[in-house]
């Protein structure tokens, strides 16, 4: 066999190395070109969106106005009966007679339920007989004692026996009276919870009883109001059960201490309720005047952007002339106004309106809808055909 030529092997290796180098250079050029084209396209896209004109936002507006609001306080409360309880029995027994109907109006002392007292009545007769005998013996021994025929100790013993038997008879009468359940106060009964022949244990509920006239409303106020409410102050009360019919009440009691957990104190107002239209447990809205008034700038609550870092409104101003002179893009409306974001200090609220104490003047126009799409100096167009509600005493529509 002829030996391999080393020069030809070297040539082949050099040729293979050149091809690999050229191939790597080609791949680098191709991928570099792709990335360069992509970068140029991304830059052009960003420039297009950065310079793309923004269409104006269609908003509704409200002209801020000055109003004089009297100082008021509002709260929510619960109606409470003047007297209210579940009628129960102190002694156990079988229901022998039910003398009431569910929902009946009763007077204090009216009979409601009679439990079986046959055994107690028999025991009472025996005790009364024993008491009469003890009294007779007491009187006889007192006469003998006056005649010095018996000792004073024997007379005292007979007197004690007579008192004991009389007390036992009185205790039996009290037990019988406990089994005769009567209304503890005037009021309206609820739904009967017992049946004839049922055995009642002491404390078992028989029927609910509520005194509806007068009636009270209990509500709470923050501690800052402690010196602003007094006994006899008039209170307005509204309940959902009587829509559109306010009731007048007067403050009758104020809790002298403030709850350490809530920093609120409890107030009770009372009012007459002769027809029983108001019922205990009803939710009520309470309001009363604080006796002073102040001027506030009012706007709808929808005009205020409530944020943790501060409340703000968007004030509408005329669009700059140079901006309005630029021709709008094809098919895009021209902005007639721009908005300026302004931080404000809010005050009391009434219905759909809120008072602005700082940051806004009467006559300035604010945006009332579309706030989420706005930014400072954004172009807008005004459309007030449909506006959010702006009433100080809104009333929901019945549907």
Positive or negative: CA dihedral 293, 295, 300, 301? negative
Distance from C-alpha of 131 to C-alpha of 161, rounded to nearest angstrom: 9
Q: Name the CATH topology of 117-178.
A: Helix Hairpins (1.10.287)
Supply the pLDDT for residue 216.
Answer: 92
β-pair partners for 61: 367
123 CB neighbour count, 10 Å cutoff: 16
The DSSP letter of residue 184 is S
CATH code, 73-80+212-291: 2.40.30.170
> What residue segments make up the domains of the chain, in order of their start?
16-52, 57-69+295-382, 73-80+212-291, 117-178
- Whole-model pTM: value is 0.56
pLDDT in tens, 12-51: 666 777 777 878 887 788 877 888 888 888 776 776 555 5
Report CA dihedral (19, 25, 26, 30) to the nearest 10 degrees. 160
Report residue 10 as tokens. Answer: 């070297």
Q: What are the start-end ranges of the H helices in the chain?
A: 6-51, 118-146, 152-178, 321-325
What sign does the dihedral 305-310-313-317 (CA atoms) show? negative
Alpha-carbon dihedral sign for residues 188, 192, 196, 197: negative
Calculate the CA 2 to chain-centre distance. Answer: 108
What per-residue confidence (pLDDT) applies to 335? 73
Break the chain down into helix, strand, coil percent, rounded to 5: 30, 35, 35
pLDDT in tens, 361-374: 899 999 988 888 88
CA distance 119 to 101: 28
CB distance 300 to 368 below 8 Å = yes
Q: Return the number of other C-beta atoms located less than 10 Å from residue 395's C-beta.
A: 9
Which one-letter DSSP state was computed for residue 70? Answer: E
Contacts of 360 (CB under 8 A, 6+ apart): 64, 297, 299, 313, 315, 342, 344, 366
- Please calculate the CA angle 202-203-208 and round it to the nearest 5 degrees: 135
* DSSP assignment letter at 305: B
Each residue's pLDDT tens digit in the chain (399 positions)?
445 555 556 656 667 777 778 788 877 888 778 888 888 887 767 765 555 556 788 888 888 888 877 667 778 889 999 888 899 988 888 888 998 888 888 999 899 998 887 787 788 788 878 777 778 877 776 777 777 776 778 777 777 877 888 888 888 788 888 888 899 998 899 999 989 988 989 888 999 999 888 899 999 988 888 887 888 888 888 888 888 788 888 999 999 999 899 889 999 999 998 888 888 988 888 887 766 667 788 899 888 988 888 889 999 988 776 544 455 555 556 778 888 999 998 887 777 888 888 888 899 999 988 888 888 888 888 888 877 766 656 555 544
Q: What dihedral angle (degrees, nearest 10) is formed by the CA atoms of 249, 255, 256, 261? A: -140
Which CATH code fits 57-69+295-382?
2.40.420.20
Q: Are 170 and 162 in contact (CB under 8 A)?
A: no
């Amino acid at each position: 066999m002829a030996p391999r030529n080393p020069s030809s092997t070297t040539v082949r290796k050099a040729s293979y190395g050149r091809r690999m180098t050229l191939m790597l250079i080609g791949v680098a050029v191709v991928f570099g070109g792709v990335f360069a084209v992509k970068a140029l396209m991304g830059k052009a896209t960003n420039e297009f969106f950065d310079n793309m004109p923004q269409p104006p936002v269609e908003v509704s507006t409200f002209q801020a106005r000055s109003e004089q609001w009297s100082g008021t306080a509002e709260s929510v409360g619960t109606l409470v009966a003047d007297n209210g309880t579940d009628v129960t029995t102190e002694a156990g027994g079988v229901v022998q007679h039910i003398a009431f109907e569910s929902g009946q109006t009763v007077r204090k002392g009216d009979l409601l339920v009679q439990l079986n007292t046959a055994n107690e009545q028999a025991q009472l007769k025996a005790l009364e007989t024993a008491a009469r005998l003890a009294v007779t013996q007491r009187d006889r021994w007192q006469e003998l004692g006056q005649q010095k025929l018996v000792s004073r100790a024997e007379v005292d013993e007979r007197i004690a026996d007579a008192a004991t038997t009389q007390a036992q008879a009185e205790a039996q009468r009290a037990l019988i009276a406990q089994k005769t359940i009567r209304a503890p106060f005037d009021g309206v009964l609820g739904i009967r919870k017992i049946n004839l022949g049922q055995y009642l244990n002491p404390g078992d509920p028989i029927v609910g009883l509520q005194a509806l006239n007068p009636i009270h409303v209990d509500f709470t106020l923050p501690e800052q109001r402690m010196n602003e409410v007094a006994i006899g102050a008039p209170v307005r009360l509204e309940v959902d059960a009587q829509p559109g019919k306010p009731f007048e009440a007067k403050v009758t009691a104020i809790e002298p201490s403030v709850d350490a957990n809530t920093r609120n104190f409890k107030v009770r107002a009372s009012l007459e309720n002769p027809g029983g239209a108001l019922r205990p447990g009803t939710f009520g809205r309470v309001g009363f005047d604080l006796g002073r008034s102040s001027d506030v700038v009012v706007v709808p609550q929808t005009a205020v952007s409530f944020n943790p870092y501060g409340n703000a409104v968007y004030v509408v101003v005329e669009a700059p002339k140079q901006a309005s002179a630029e021709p709008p893009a094809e098919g895009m409306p021209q902005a007639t106004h721009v908005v300026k974001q302004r931080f404000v200090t809010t005050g009391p609220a009434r219905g759909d309106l809120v008072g602005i104490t700082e940051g806004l003047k009467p006559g300035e126009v604010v945006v009332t809808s579309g706030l989420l799409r706005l930014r400072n100096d954004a172009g807008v167009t005004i459309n007030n055909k449909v506006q959010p509600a702006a009433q100080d005493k809104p009333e929901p529509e019945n549907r």
